[in-house]
Chain A
Amino acid sequence: MKQEVQMLLSVQDIHKTYQTADGPFEVLRGVDLTLAAGETLALTGESGSGKSTLLHLIGGLDASDRGQIWLQGQDIAALDDNGRAALRRGTVGVVFQQFNLIPSLKVADNIAFQARLSEQYDPKWAAELADRMGLGPHLNKYPEQLSGGQQQRVAIARTLAPKPRLVLADEPTGNLDETTAATVMDLMLELVSEAGAGLLMVTHSAALAGRMSRRLHLRAGQVA
């Protein structure tokens, strides 16, 4: 199949069905999308429309039933478990709504963690990220000693530390107040732009979606 070589990400006819107590539920029904390097895309839609599922499939966190996901010329759907793990380590960075920090590691170690896993740890870059995120005074603290906004900034710094080509964010400011959310988003957009990476963000916020270069709305598992 011919692929769009200039595209960072190309999703073609993706399907995903979950088994539920009430029987099979097809959450994605043939979704297509593309994303170029340096482009930002907001993924919106009602709860249950398949936004997070699509994000997880692109991030290699889950496997699709049908369709193809090309990322930097590689079909993610064809990867096995190890291949998807390698993808998550180096090429893709995911920012979760619940932060998902490692509670027993200090802030500095949390920021460095994914970069060290992918063996792309650059101490200078990690220090700069921490500094720009305003985390300098907190590097020796544990996550539980930080506020929600600070924890999300640690999560974003951790995601950007290995310099991923694609950043996926699942409602990254969903747990934050409006002011903190705005600050965090400013920083994330700034850093993603500098790195020339693509950003695909799931959000319910129209304001946040408005700050992206493009917007894609999902309804009942299909692009509306």
Chain B
Amino acid sequence: MTKAALQALLSHWWRNPVQLFTLLAGLALATALWSGVQAVNAEARASYDAAAATLGEGQYDRLVRRDGQPMAQETYITLRRAGWLVSPVLQGRLDGVRIVGVEPLTAPAGIGPITPAQGADIGSFLTGQGQLFANAETAAQLPDLDVIIAAETALGAAITDIGVAQRLLGKVGQIDSLIVLPRQPLGRPDLAQIAPDLLLQPAQGGSDIARLTDSFHLNLTAFGLLSFAVGIFIVNGAIGLAFEQRRPVVRTMRALGLPLRRLIVLMAAELMIFALIAGIIGVALGYVIAALLLPDVAATLRGLYGADVSGTLQLRPSWWLSGLAIALGGTAIAASGALYQMTKMPLLAAAQPRALAMAAGQRAKTQGAIAAALLVVSAILMFTADGLIGGFALLATLLIGAALALPIILSGILAAMNRSARSVTAQWFWADTRQQLPGLSLALMALLLAMAANVGVSTMVSSFRVTFTDFLDQRLASEVYVRTSDAAQSAALLDYAASRADAILPIQSADTQVAGQPTEVFGARDHATYRDFWVFLQNAEGAWDTTFAGETVLINEQLSRRAGLVVGDTVTLQDSSFAVAGVYGDYGNPIGQVVMSEAIFTTLYPDISPQNFGVRMPPADVADFVADLEAQTGIPATQTVDQASIKAISLAIFERTFTVTTALNVLTLAVAGFAILMSLLTLASMRVPQLAPAWAMGMTRNQLGRLELLRAVMLALLTALVALPLGLALAWALLAVVNVAAFGWRLPMYLFPADYARLAVFALLAAGLAALWPARRLARTPPADLLKVFSNER
């Protein structure tokens, strides 16, 4: 029985290969978009994790010198003898590779890949020439050294014994920092007693890089989810139409004695097999998408946040499995409704066309009620959402509500057009389009979501660009930035620049906590640069005057939001209290910031001396200044950055960001276009009985074909009109709710009408292209097929 039933079910696809193709392709594309974006995210995150594991970043407390200089090896020995369980680390660059020296016998587990199981010879590691561990890409940069390939080592880093590192880096006897192991013996002496020049930096529970890049990944993940939602609409449409077309067959099979439960199990199994096949194709396609996107994403992350991400993709089992799970889960979601309906379908119910089932009655009313409820909830959330969950709930209710409302909105518009139509052809066209709506609605919902996602994400990225460019002008006010390596270089710089620069602005900072939030405190020198360029979100009268006078401080937006601080509130630093005089925007920075006067900073943090300087001068003098700097002070040009270069690099990074978002936009739109094509092809066979009477009454087949094309473009246009406000609402939610909840700062929103117009043109083009083939097929329908409609034998 099972074999016969399965053969009958599968024969449907054999006889309808286009429908099978659209089902598989829809699901594969949905999976590809999702898994492609996830692959890029996973690869980048794996790179950060490798970096964190290699360098132990943020995982352990560390001891560093208060002045930021390397410490002597004797300090380490003193601490060990005093009972402190610490392990030394030294870092430096060799041929562009970050050499990390650790001591394997005292280093905590999880720092670097040094395990004997990997073929490491601990003897060679510790003695003689010394072994290094690096991934293949990095190892290629160190041809003359004994490098063992360890894939999980961070890109651009090589691990070795600290003694080898000291020799390779020319830092014999020096240590950068000491890792403090989590378990320490009781009764060990205080740090202040045995090493008063050392500072304990607490663990941060995650690497800085990972936190910095979270914003980028959150946006990519949001895009991935939207793309998948578009895909699910497509799959839902394909499965729904396939069930609809097979409804008479299902009825016949049941009438002939196939039990309902067996039929449902078989149909579910059939779909799951398809989902598995499409999932595998989708994951493979996703891999291709990710491989194409990753170099741009890697370059963006490297440039924007200094995060090294491998430009090549690795095949990760978890990624394959999650892609397949999404394909199977998506199909299950899409099919569950259709299968449920089948269980409720009376055995003797006539095979009603989908149009009749959906156009009227309870289902349309229910859909309208759900849409209205979701939109009301989203409207409430717009004013009340606070936090990441609220933000995503807002996005979900808004998008799903709008998608469900779309057919009702379009139906209303079409009914109005029908009422105002004069000619009989126009009346028939509007009425016929309205009848087509149920069959096309899922594809149009997919188009709506794709366009809204495009508008939303483009608006967000472009707003970020405008804001960030302004922010760069604010923060990179100095024409040249110089980093010195020690106090002698700092003194030489000050001496050299005194006569050649308009002003020298030291940049000095200390890490601390304000109201429980990790915060950087900056000491700023009183200069017009700050007053001229910095923009406050909120400030008291004369904020800079009181701050430079040492009476008040300024805080960034992140600290203001997270600690609930506003102008007039008080912050306490090193037991001194200061009123907040202003709050400034600080985009891209994950932690809090406090700006105070240079004098107060020096009083509160006497051990910190500046090693970064902003130098103000006429832009025309920059080249000469930098050229002479090395000759006169010994500070190499590599320690100098000019403002114009930084801005040029930053803008170039944004162009790459745009490449990524544009590629995703095009892909999502292409998938939506595909959904329209698929729906039109699936509906084509149902269209013949609807068009035959019009043909019989005098319309030519070419006319009918042209009207089919026009119908698709017109529906896409109406959808675009709904998508624009939805996309803007989406952008607002991302910028004003999700971003604030996730990162603590709010981006101003800008509008880009030219971009939206271009997008609308693309959408119309996609719809037109999708409708071309089905319209052509209809225009070429043989008269014999049209006549069959009127034949008793049909």
Binding site for B on A (CB under 8 A): 56, 61-62, 81-82, 85-90, 94, 96, 100-105, 109, 112-114, 116-119, 142, 147-148, 158, 175
Contact = CB atoms under 8 A, between A and B. Distances in A.
A102 B11 contact: yes
Nearest to B16: A104
B428 interface: no
A119 B4 CA distance: 9
Nearest to A118: B257
Instruction: In the A-B complex, list the 4 residue pairs whose CB atoms are closest, starting with the nearest.
Output: A89-B257, A116-B4, A88-B257, A104-B11
Contact of B259 (A56, A61, A81, A104): A81
Interface of B: 1, 3-5, 7-8, 11-12, 14-16, 248-249, 251-261, 347-348, 792-793
B15 A114 contact: no
A117 B1 CA distance: 4
Interface centre among B12, B259, B260 (most CB of A within 10 A): B259
A212 B793 CA distance: 27
Nearest to B2: A117
Contacts of B255: 61, 88, 94, 96, 100
Interface centre among A96, A100, A148 (most CB of B within 10 A): A100
B249 A117 contact: no
Contact of B793 (A87, A88, A100, A147): A147
Contacts of A103: 15, 249
Contacts of B258: 85, 89, 117
Contact of A113 (B8, B15, B792): B8
Contacts of A96: 255
A117 B4 contact: yes
30 contacts: A61-B255, A61-B347, A62-B347, A62-B348, A82-B261, A85-B254, A86-B259, A88-B256, A89-B256, A89-B257, A89-B258, A90-B257, A94-B256, A101-B252, A104-B11, A105-B8, A105-B11, A109-B8, A109-B11, A113-B4, A113-B8, A116-B4, A117-B1, A117-B5, A117-B256, A117-B257, A118-B1, A118-B257, A119-B1, A147-B793
Given A56-B348, A113-B4, A175-B792, A100 B260 contact: no
A119 to B, nearest CB: 6
Contacts of A101: 252
Contacts of A119: 1
Nearest to A113: B4
B259 A142 contact: no
A100 B252 contact: yes
A57 B7 CA distance: 29
Contacts of B16: 104
A109 B259 CA distance: 19
A79 B7 CA distance: 28
Contact of A85 (B12, B248, B260, B348): B260
A105 B3 CA distance: 14
B100 to A, nearest CB: 65
Contacts of B256: 88-89, 94, 113-114, 117, 158
A115 to B, nearest CB: 9
B257 to A, nearest CB: 3
A113 B5 CA distance: 8
Contacts of B348: 56, 61-62
A53 B195 CA distance: 98
A98 B252 CA distance: 11
